[in-house]
Structure 1
Amino acid sequence: MTLKPPKASSATDFVVITYAVITTFLIIGAIFFLIFAPVVPANWILAAAILGSVLLIFGVLRLVKYVMDLCHEYYGTGRIERTRNEMMVGLSGVWICSTIPRIAAYFMGTNYHLIIYAVTVSLLTSFIFHFLFTYGFNQWCKLNYANSVMSEYALIPFHIVLLGFSVRISVSPENTENQNAALFLGQVAMTILPLISSWDLSVVFQNGLIWQGHKGKINKSVDQMTYMLIPCFTAILAILSMVFIGFSVSTVSNYCPTVGWTTVAVTVVACLLVGVVLGLFKILLVFIHEKLKKRTYDLVLMETIIGFSGIAIFAFLPRIVVFVVGCDVPIYLSSVIISIFTVLTFYRLFISPNQHLWRLDFSKNCNLILIIVGIHIIILVAAIRFAITYENPRDIEVIIWTQSVFSFLCLACVIDLAVVLKGGLVMVDEGNGDVEMGPMKKVKKEKKEKATGPECKICILPFNPSTVIPRMLKECGHTVCGGCADKLIGKQQLNQIVCPFCQVATVVGGVTKTLPKNFELLELI
């Protein structure tokens, strides 16, 4: 396939280029100012610090890119998976680095040299992330925006809430009117890039990256509600961690006391403990499933219930803790960081590994969803009403913003959990669409009639030598049945099959019978 020349192909491309052009003009103006203005040592020190920092960051990121390329070559990663990994790194870097100036304005007050340094280095680092890892993906892939428009719209109110919170903690009555106006405009200007980059990151995260030859089809169903908020809370965890460390090394704060290193150590140990305990629990769960020889659906259902239940519990936890600790920032930040880390760990261990095998059917549970939305609105209003009874204004602000931000995740995960418990978990067959799963009582009867053996991970049917023949995809080694292979090539409308598990393409020449049989699996039957 002839490679297309690199060009702007996503919303982030256009926004980053716009910001880069504006920043370039500002840097040129700053250079002329340094040359023709009276010599001020602080200005030259600032320029040298910016130049040195950017060169150092560029070298480190270039090394990271080189190591990623080596790993991709060593493990034989397919082009679309390689592009997805690079875009995840690039867009995450753009999002986090473009958010740093919004935090810097809070810590640095009216120290203009530090503000200029933080804003300039952060923006230039965002550009480096983008042009090293993201720009030029159009040579192989494209973003299928049409397949995820519904879920990405939830990012807009989420970023509006974060904008309000950022403006509130940045603007101070002690500042002049011009300073507050500048802070407000700066927060608004720096909201656009995080919003757009998080939008594209969510599209990539939801498998919206497809080959150039594919036709983007609109999928009117939503796989899950929690899925679209995970990138948001991942970024929040990174941002809060930076704030947490900032408070631990800062001696003066506009909003709260400093954080002791003991609190930092306890937070880190708690996060590590959460990861170890949940990881061991996951291993135990898989071990029990293999010993009992249950269906893949049973394990997927159990892990999904555990995952969404854990997310729901720890998404509610900060909303409860904030009523107790109020504006006690060391304890508050520690509890929020631990809660978000636990949420992400539950998602990574119990939801993410199997999410390509299933989707949630929301169409049959509309009334249930409306009831849950109504209950959460009542809880949110009641929580805000109760917060107003507090005497300390800062306690009121922290409680209201915590309730508002975490209400998104609470609502999403509770809806997903309720749909799963109501039988809305549907296994996905890439060729036929959805595979309806029977009740557990019927499953037990089927187990007596059918021998347990290897099964196709797409249609969940056991392999056999005559009808469900295991065919191996030569480029990646994954195995699918012949029927699913035929439907995959018909669905993708190409002379190749893109593996649904690792996205590596295998050329078949239009006939899937040329794919080799997996004789090792046939011997196990």
Structure 2
Amino acid sequence: MDKKRNTKKIWRLRRDLMIGYGGMACCAVAVLLVTVTLVKQEWRHIQSLTFLCTFMSDVFFCLFSMNHLHKYKMENGKQLKAVFLRLSIISLHAVLAGILLTFLHSIASGVEEFENVKFTIRNHLIIFSVCTAELAVVGMDWVVLKDAECQKNVELVNRSTATSRNICTLPYTTTTVIPRMLVGCGHTVCQECIQKLPRQQFLLCPFCRKPPSLADNLPNQELSLWI
């Protein structure tokens, strides 16, 4: 479906992460509500509902979050903000855990399985805090694809078909990544990437999307100048 709609990778990444972490957080909340509501009931009832919510949480993680864990990172300049946001949310959840456990102790300290109840609440509050922290970071649009800064798509237009190639955006040097200025718009691209392009196609600038202004049928190497 995403391929048919040509959904951008970063949009798919953020959507899947929000669904995954959001679903896991909701499952953790469900466990807390069930535990607090049924704290005086039989422990096996709490166990059954807790197992169901935990299973659903694992499903959300496997379907939406797990495959993206190695694909994203924090946007440059947002790392410290992301760390502060995560720590703030986790700290708030720690305070919430203390309040909730104190409340339960006051109303159900005599329950036979009270230690198991406290263990369940602690575990799922940890899961809830981590998922909520990641959900907040993703919701702030502070995540980017790891390879987003290494590659940029350049569109190559033929007379009959349109194709795409990759062109590097590495920092320019005087020896390896030599800059060439595109005639017309003035933006610079890597010399080696320009020389690899097919001679019978012309490119659109990856930055302003304008074609270099030279006569037709000239090779790509003539569309750029030394700088």
Native 8 Å contact 2:85 2:137 kept in 1: no
Q: Deviations over 1:204-261 (max 9, x none)?
A: 112122122256xxxxxxxxxxxxxxxxxxxxxxxxxxxxxxxxxxxxxxxxxxxxxx
Counterpart position of 1:92: 22
- Give the superposition deviation at 1:195: 1.1
Cα separation, partners in 2 of 1:165 and 1:74, compared to 1, 3 Å: farther
Selected match of 2:79 from 139, 142, 146? 146
The SS at the match of 1:142 is strand
Output the CA distance in 1 between the equivalents of 2:91 and 2:61: 25
Identity score, percent: 16
Map 1:209-224 onto structure 2 (within 5 A). Answer: 209-214=143-148
- TM-score normalised by L of structure 2: 0.59
CA distance in structure 2 between the aligned counterparts of 1:206 and 1:196, rounded to whole angstroms: 16
Residue 187 of structure 1 and its aligned partner are, at CA, apart by: 1.6
Q: Deviations over 1:28-86 (max 9, x none)?
A: xxxxxxxxxxxxxxxxxxxxxxxxxxxxxxxxxxxxxxxxxx3x345432011011111
Partner of 2:101: 167
Q: Give the letter aligned to residue 146 of structure 1.
A: Q
Query: Given that residues 143 and 204 in structure 1 are in contact (C-alpha distance below 8 angstroms), is that contact kept between their aligned partners in structure 2?
Result: no
Q: Using the alignment, how far apart are the partners of 2:91 and 2:69 within structure 1?
A: 30
Taking a change above 3 Å as real, the CA distance of residues 206 and 86 of structure 1, as seen in their structure-2 partners, is: same
1:210 is paired with a residue whose SS is strand
Q: Per the alignment, in what secondary structure is the counterpart of residue 153 of structure 1?
A: helix
2:198 is matched with which residue? none
Describe the superposition over 1:368-416 as per-residue Cα deviations: whole angstroms up to 9, x where unpaired: xxxxxxxxxxxxxxxxxxxxxxxxxxxxxxxxxxxxxxxxxxxxxxxxx
| Equivalent residue number for residue 210 of structure 2 | 515
Specify the SS of the correspondent of 2:141. Answer: coil
Name 1:116's counterpart in structure 2.
47
- Paired residue for 1:128, among 59, 66, 69? 59
Give the deviation of 1:88 after TM superposition: 0.5
- Shift in alpha-carbon separation, 1:184–1:138, aligned structure 2, 3 A: closer
CA contact (8 A) 2:204 2:210 kept: no
- 1: CA distance between counterparts of 2:69 and 2:123? 27
TM-superposition CA deviations, 1:401-447 (whole Å, max 9, x none): xxxxxxxxxxxxxxxxxxxxxxxxxxxxxxxxxxxxxxxxxxxxxxx
Hey, which of these two has a bigger chunk of strand by percent?
2
Q: Tell me: CA distance 1:155–1:79, structure 2 relative to 1, closer, same or farther (3 Å).
A: same
Q: What secondary structure sits across from 1:171 in the alignment?
A: helix
Tell me the SS of whatever aligns to 2:144.
Answer: strand
- Identify the residue that residue 101 of structure 1 maps to in structure 2: 31
Q: Give the 5 Å matches for 1:316-465.
A: none
- Corresponding residue of 2:126: 192
Query: Could you say which structure has the greater relative contact order, defined with CA pairs below 8 angstroms and 6 or more residues apart?
Result: 2
Paired position in structure 1 for 2:68: 137
Distance 2:85 2:64 in 1: 25
| Offset at residue 95 of structure 1 (A) | 0.7
Equivalent residue, structure 2, for 1:83: 13
Match of 1:176 among 70, 89, 110: 110
Residue 149 of structure 1: CA displacement? 1.4
Matched residues in 2 for 1:511 and 1:156: separation? 41
Using the TM superposition, name which of 95-104 and 156-165 deviates more: 156-165
Match of 2:169 in 1: none
Q: How far apart, in 2, do the equivalents of 1:183 and 1:198 lie?
A: 22
- Cα 1:171–1:179 change in 2 (3 A) is farther
Q: TM-score, normalised by structure 1?
A: 0.28
How far apart are residue 197 of structure 1 and its match? Answer: 1.0
Deviation at residue 180 of structure 1 after TM alignment = 3.1
Q: Which runs of 5+ in 1 are unaligned?
A: 1-69, 216-474, 476-484, 496-507, 518-525
Q: How far did 1:192 drift?
A: 1.2
User: Counterpart amino acid of 1:198?
Assistant: T
Shift of 1:160: 1.9
Q: Which runs of 5+ in 2 are unaligned?
A: 150-163, 165-184, 194-202, 213-227
* Aligned equivalents of 2:92, 2:186: Cα separation in 1: 42
Return the structure number with greater helix share: 1
Q: Residue 89 of structure 2 aligns to which amino acid in structure 1? A: L
| 1:98, distance to aligned residue in structure 2 (A) | 1.6
Structure 1 residues 509 and 136: CA distance shift in structure 2, 3 A: farther
RMSD: 3.5
Task: Decide whether the 8 Å contact of 1:102 with 1:166 is kept in 2.
Answer: no
Shift in Å, 1:152: 2.4
Instruction: Map 1:464-503 onto structure 2 (within 5 A).
Output: none
Q: Distance in 2 between matches of 1:199 and 1:125?
A: 19
Residues 117 and 513 of structure 1: CA distance in aligned 2, closer, same or farther (over 3 Å): closer
* Pair 1:509–1:130, CA change in 2 (3 A): farther
8 Å CA contact retained: 1:99, 1:194: yes
Name the aligned partner's letter for residue 207 of structure 2: T
